[in-house]
């Protein structure tokens, strides 16, 4: 939902005129693609759980910091790495989730994940819009960052380490 509201925030804070927003979208896309490609190997090397834990925390803190940026260079310095790590985190989280159930249950867990994802796509922007309208975009980013920290804690607490015992 952050991408849906960032344009108005960038314009409203005068960090970037609307006619130059295309640069942000191109850079976010490029950094997300680079992150998915580069960090995928890191996730395989370090273990999906560990990568999900670290990347979720990085994204959570990054979102909280992003809303405090009052210069375009600061926004880019925080936003582009957050985009890269967030994109890489999605694939590692999906792989980790698929391994939480036996092979015969993976279709079910992926179906539940897709349903939750689609439900989120339909409801989170509405809720985010309410927060953005009443408290501002930085407040929404703090909430989103806090939810990432909560996700980090849930994975840390409830998901077993995916590395072999000798690698821990």
Q: In the prediction, which pLDDT does 3 show?
A: 81
Neighbours of 45 (CB within 10 A): 9
Integer Cα distance of 99 and 83 in angstroms? 25
Residue of higher predicted confidence among 1 and 139: 139
pLDDT 10s digits, 104-133: 988 898 898 889 888 988 898 899 999 999
SS3 136: coil
**Burial class, 17, CB count within 10 angstroms (exposed 0-12 / middle 13-18 / buried 19+):** exposed
Neighbours of 15 (CB within 10 A): 19
Q: In the prediction, which pLDDT does 168 show?
A: 47
Q: Say yes or no to pLDDT of 37 above 50.
A: yes
pLDDT 10s digits, 152-163: 999 999 888 765
Q: Say yes or no to pLDDT of 64 above 50.
A: yes
32: CB partners within 8 A, 6+ apart: 83, 84, 86, 87
4: CB partners within 8 A, 6+ apart: 125, 128
């Amino acid at each position: 939902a952050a991408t849906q509201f960032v344009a108005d925030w960038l314009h409203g804070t005068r960090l970037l005129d609307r006619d130059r927003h295309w640069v942000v979208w191109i850079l976010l896309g490029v950094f997300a693609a680079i992150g998915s490609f580069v960090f995928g190997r890191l996730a395989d090397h370090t273990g999906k759980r560990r990568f999900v834990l670290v990347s979720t925390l990085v994204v959570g803190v990054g979102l909280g910091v992003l809303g405090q940026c009052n210069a375009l260079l600061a926004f880019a310095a925080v936003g582009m790495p957050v985009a890269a790590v967030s994109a890489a985190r999605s694939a590692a989280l999906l792989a980790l989730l698929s391994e939480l159930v036996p092979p015969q249950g993976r279709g079910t867990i992926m179906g539940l994940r897709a349903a939750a994802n689609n439900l989120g796509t339909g409801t989170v922007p509405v809720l985010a819009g309410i927060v953005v309208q009443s408290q501002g975009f930085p407040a929404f980013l703090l909430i989103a960052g806090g939810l990432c920290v909560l996700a980090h804690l849930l994975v840390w607490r409830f998901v077993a380490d995916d590395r072999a015992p000798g690698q821990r």
